[in-house]
């Protein structure tokens, strides 16, 4: 099965890219892209490491990266973010990750999220469960809103009824993929993102959360299509299933009123 073979390849590539990024720590030059987001020498070097290893092993796969766009291929493709959390990386924070996944059509079948600074590896394979450093993980299973730990934007928390409902706002780490993985491993009960995450931010974490027994959807409850030509998405919910409907409803109501 492709996903079973590819997970080992993804791990090898993510570790190599993480090592490359670590060698630049404190010395990488950076600049601002046309879309206003930062990029550094380390992003490009890590991207090249990923591409060399992944496409070298699977030349028939397609390719989509935050740093060098899209290349067509067969029904299977790689989707990567060489440094998810570039701002954190540039200021010396440790909450950045290397993210890579394999898509079959529009859905992920294998994915890794690697946090190089502390050597933490999140892996998921379709039908194979989700692991953190080799140990199976699961969503929290929480059923009540009160005291639920949710990472979400400050304005949404204050103005969307979450504070009144007793939801506890959790710290938003810089890497979105890592934030979503924390929902998958049960350290958070849920995550609600701002509008605007991209395919490469979400695909690996989407699979990880689902394989951990959770759900990741847009605020209408629909699964995401990573084959779509437009790579950006609206706000996304991820977390334990029993909290999905009430939290999505609250977030959607706030968005509609904004």
The neighbouring-strand residues paired with 71 are 63
Q: Does 6 appear as a known binding residue? A: no
CA distance 175 to 213: 22
Closest Cα to residue 77, out of 39, 49, 113, 109? Answer: 109
Q: Does 81 appear as a known binding residue? A: yes
Please state, as a whole number, how many other Cβ atoms lie within 10 Å of the Cβ of residue 40. Answer: 21
Q: Does 7 appear as a known binding residue? A: no
CA distance 39 to 46: 11
Give the position of tokens 């990386």: 89
* Sign of the dihedral through C-alpha 170, 175, 177, 178: negative
Q: How far is CA 210 from CA 72, 138, 233, in A?
A: 27, 9, 18
Q: Does 192 appear as a known binding residue? A: no
Length of the chain: 258
Three-class SS state of 239: strand
Closest Cα to residue 184, out of 240, 247, 128? Answer: 240
Closest Cα to residue 47, out of 30, 25, 63? Answer: 63
CA angle 149, 191, 145 (to 5 degrees): 40
Q: Does 189 appear as a known binding residue? A: no
Runs of H (alpha helix) within 185-240: 199-211
For residue 16, the number of C-alpha atoms closer than 13 Å in the C-beta half-sphere is: 16
Residue ranges of the binding site: 66, 81, 83-84, 201
Binding positions for Mg(2+): 66, 81, 83-84, 201
């Amino acid at each position: 099965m492709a996903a079973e073979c590819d997970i080992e390849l993804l791990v090898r590539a993510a570790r190599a890219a993480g090592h490359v990024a670590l060698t630049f720590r404190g010395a990488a030059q950076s600049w601002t892209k046309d879309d206003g987001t930062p990029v550094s020498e380390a992003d490009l070097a890590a991207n090249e490491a990923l591409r060399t290893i992944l496409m070298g092993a699977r030349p028939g796969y397609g390719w989509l990266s935050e740093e060098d766009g899209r290349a067509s291929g067969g029904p299977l493709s790689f989707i990567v973010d060489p440094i998810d959390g570039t701002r954190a990386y540039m200021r010396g924070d440790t909450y950045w990750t290397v993210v890579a996944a394999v898509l079959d059509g529009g859905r992920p079948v294998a994915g890794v999220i690697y946090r190089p600074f502390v050597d933490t590896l999140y892996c998921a394979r379709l039908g194979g469960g989700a692991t953190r450093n080799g140990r199976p993980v699961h969503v929290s299973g929480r059923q009540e809103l009160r005291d639920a730990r949710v990472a979400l934007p400050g304005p949404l928390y204050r103005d969307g009824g979450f504070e009144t409902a007793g939801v506890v706002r959790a710290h938003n780490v810089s890497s979105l993929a890592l934030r979503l993985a924390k929902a998958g491993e049960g350290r958070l009960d849920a995550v609600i993102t701002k509008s605007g995450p991209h395919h490469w931010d979400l695909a690996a974490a989407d699979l990880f959360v689902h394989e951990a027994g959770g759900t990741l959807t847009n605020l209408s409850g629909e699964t995401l299509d990573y084959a779509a030509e437009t790579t950006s998405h609206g706000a996304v919910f991820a977390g334990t299933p029993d909290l999905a409907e009430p939290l999505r409803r609250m977030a959607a109501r706030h968005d509609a009123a904004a």
